[in-house]
């Protein structure tokens, strides 16, 4: 009887605990193995060069700023919450004293703030006082908001589209002359790095309702629509920007990337405003997290790769994931026509000209 019971216990333990755990751990190891790694032996030198990281007060942006500082750059941390960002600087300084870390206020949900930031940057670090110009701009800041919670920026844009795309669109255009200047005095191109997401493949830009004024807001798909559309806009922007830079024959490259599924606060708003059901929270999410989730340092690797790898010097307009070129055209064909149209519409919305 005892023997029978222990046999049953052993097989239950094996099938319901040991085997699933072994499968999960094995799968996680395989996923890790399949991921690319940053090639640290082939980076451009950024000692003393000026770089900007938006959204450097948390998650991927904070680690990106730290990585640039370690390599001796002058890092402008463009953040909306300076108090929070100051704590990040203090924290980074406990690990490295290299480089410069400079805080500047930038709220991408306000065009006035973007213009003010660019003007201050030009005054302090641009023009004749900084002949080196701006070598790297990382458009990293981003947010995701819950379905049914359509928020509007002070300029009247749906918030996700306004922050993730339009704010960065204006910022990039205002800073381009400084990036061209940096490209002129260096053999390495200056680089615009756009932190997008694999989520862009589920986006669908509707030029008749860019701000979601008519689209019904009743389900999870709407979260996808807000976020995925803003990330699709990031990729279309990358495509058109690279095309325009090539046509101008300037030494400036542009890249988009997906950092992967990274342990940061980006989900906080969604989980708070629209808590998913029990199965998602207690089963699917923990399993996905265990298998796929990167910590913020791992999640920063592809940004660093796009910003610094010499392998990418002759590439522009492409997307990267896990430090490798990602041919997303198998999933979605980005329309050059849409990219050109989005540029024109964005120019009008941010009143660029
Ligand atoms: N984490 C992922 O799994 C994942 C996956 C794919 C793509 N991404 C992309 O990675 C980028 C970084 O996200 P994360 O995961 O690091 O998220 P995070 O930890 O929430 O950090 C987002 C950063 O953006 C800033 N930000 C938000 N709204 C802003 C605004 N209006 N003006 C200026 N800054 C603003 C935040 O500032 P505060 O500190 O003031 O809040 C924060 O510094 C985003 O573009 C995101 O779409 C992330």
pLDDT of 267: 81
282 found inside a domain: yes
pLDDT of 328: 75
How many Cα atoms sit within 13 Å of 323 on the Cβ side?
A: 21
In Å, how far are 41, 45, 133, 239 from 255, measured between CA atoms? 20, 19, 19, 8
Residues recognised as catalytic:
227
Across the range 137-166, mean pLDDT stands at 93
Percentages helix, strand, coil for the chain, rounded to the nearest 5?
Answer: 55, 15, 35
Instruction: Evaluate if residue 353 carries a pLDDT over 90.
Output: no
22 found inside a domain: no
Q: Which domain holds residue 109?
A: 37-349
pLDDT of 101: 98
27 found inside a domain: no
6 found inside a domain: no
Across the range 175-183, mean pLDDT stands at 97
Q: By mean pLDDT, which of 118-132, 168-182, 317-331 is the weakest? A: 317-331
C-alpha 189/C-alpha 135 separation (Å) is 8
Is ligand 1 within 6 A of the CB of residue 81?
yes
pLDDT of 1: 64
Is ligand 1 within 6 A of the CB of residue 197?
yes
Q: How many Å lie between the centroid of ligand 1 and the Cα of residue 61?
A: 7
pLDDT of 332: 78
Task: Please give the number of the atom of ligand 1 that sits closest to the Cα of 113.
Answer: 32
164 found inside a domain: yes
Instruction: Evaluate if residue 283 carries a pLDDT over 80.
Output: yes
| 259 — pLDDT class (breaks 50, 70, 90) | very high
Is ligand 1 within 6 A of the CB of residue 259?
yes
Place of tokens 């072994």: 22
Residue 254 · residue 127 · CB < 8 Å: no
Nearest CA to ligand 1 atom 40: 81
Instruction: Evaluate if residue 167 carries a pLDDT over 80.
Output: yes
Nearest CA to ligand 1 atom 45: 142
Is ligand 1 within 6 A of the CB of residue 264?
yes
Residue ranges of E strands in the chain = 50-54, 74-79, 100-105, 136-139, 190-195, 252-258, 318-321, 324-325
Place of tokens 């097989």: 11
Nearest CA to ligand 1 atom 36: 55
Contacts (Cβ under 8 Å, ≥6 apart) of 143: 159, 160, 163, 164, 266, 269
Across the range 231-243, mean pLDDT stands at 97
For residue 130 the two structure tokens come to 């900084």
Instruction: Evaluate if residue 33 carries a pLDDT over 80.
Output: no
Say which CATH number the domain at 189 has.
3.40.50.720
In Å, how far are 4, 73, 139, 252, 255 from 120, measured between CA atoms? 77, 19, 18, 22, 26
Instruction: Evaluate if residue 132 carries a pLDDT over 80.
Output: yes
Instruction: Evaluate if residue 53 carries a pLDDT over 70.
Output: yes
Q: How many Å lie between the centroid of ligand 1 and the Cα of residue 152?
A: 18
If one compares 163 and 204, the residue with the highest pLDDT of the two is 163
| 146 — pLDDT class (breaks 50, 70, 90) | confident
28 found inside a domain: no
Is ligand 1 within 6 A of the CB of residue 162?
no
331 found inside a domain: yes
pLDDT of 282: 87
pLDDT tens per residue, range 323-352: 999 887 767 788 999 999 999 999 999 999
Across the range 290-308, mean pLDDT stands at 93
pLDDT of 97: 98
C-alpha 76/C-alpha 314 separation (Å) is 26
Is ligand 1 within 6 A of the CB of residue 239?
no
C-alpha 235/C-alpha 194 separation (Å) is 8
Percent of the chain predicted with pLDDT > 70: 95
The count of other CB atoms within 10 Å of the CB of residue 283 is: 10
Across the range 271-277, mean pLDDT stands at 78
Percent of the chain predicted with pLDDT > 90: 67
Q: How many Å lie between the centroid of ligand 1 and the Cα of residue 237?
A: 18
| 223 — pLDDT class (breaks 50, 70, 90) | low
Q: How many Å lie between the centroid of ligand 1 and the Cα of residue 65?
A: 13
User: For the chain, how many structural domains are there in total?
Assistant: 1
Instruction: Evaluate if residue 10 carries a pLDDT over 70.
Output: yes
């Amino acid at each position: 009887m005892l023997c029978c019971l222990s046999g049953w216990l052993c097989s239950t333990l094996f099938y319901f605990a040991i085997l699933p755990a072994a499968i999960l751990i094995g799968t996680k190891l395989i996923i890790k193995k399949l991921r690319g790694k940053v090639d640290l032996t082939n980076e451009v030198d950024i000692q003393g060069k000026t770089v900007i990281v938006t959204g450097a007060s948390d998650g991927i942006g904070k680690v990106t700023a730290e990585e640039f500082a370690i390599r001796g750059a002058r890092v402008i941390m463009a953040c909306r919450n300076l108090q929070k960002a100051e704590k990040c600087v203090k924290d980074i300084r406990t690990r490295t004293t290299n480089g410069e870390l400079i805080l500047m206020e930038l709220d991408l949900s306000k065009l006035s703030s973007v213009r003010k930031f660019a003007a201050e940057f030009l005054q302090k670090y641009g023009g004749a006082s900084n002949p080196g110009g701006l070598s790297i701009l990382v458009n990293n800041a981003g947010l995701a908001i819950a379905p049914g919670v359509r928020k509007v920026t002070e300029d009247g844009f749906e918030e996700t589209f306004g922050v993730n795309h339009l704010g960065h669109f204006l910022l990039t255009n205002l800073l381009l002359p400084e990036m061209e200047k940096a490209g002129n005095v260096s053999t390495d191109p200056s680089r615009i790095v756009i932190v997008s997401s694999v989520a862009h493949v589920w986006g669908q830009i509707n030029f008749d309702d860019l701000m979601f004024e008519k689209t019904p807001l009743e389900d999870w798909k709407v979260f996808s629509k807000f976020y995925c559309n803003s990330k699709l806009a990031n990729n279309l922007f990358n495509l058109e920007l690279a095309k325009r830079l090539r046509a101008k024959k300037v030494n400036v490259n542009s890249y988009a990337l997906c950092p992967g599924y990274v342990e940061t606060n980006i989900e906080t708003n969604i989980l708070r405003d629209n808590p998913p059901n029990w199965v998602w929270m207690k089963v699917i999410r923990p399993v996905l997290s265990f298998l796929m989730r990167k910590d913020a340092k791992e999640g920063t690797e592809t940004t660093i790769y796009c910003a610094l790898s010499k392998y990418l010097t002759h590439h522009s307009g492409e997307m990267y994931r896990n430090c490798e070129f990602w041919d997303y055209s198998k999933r979605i064909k980005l329309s050059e026509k849409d990219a050109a149209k989005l540029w024109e519409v964005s120019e009008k919305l941010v009143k660029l000209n």
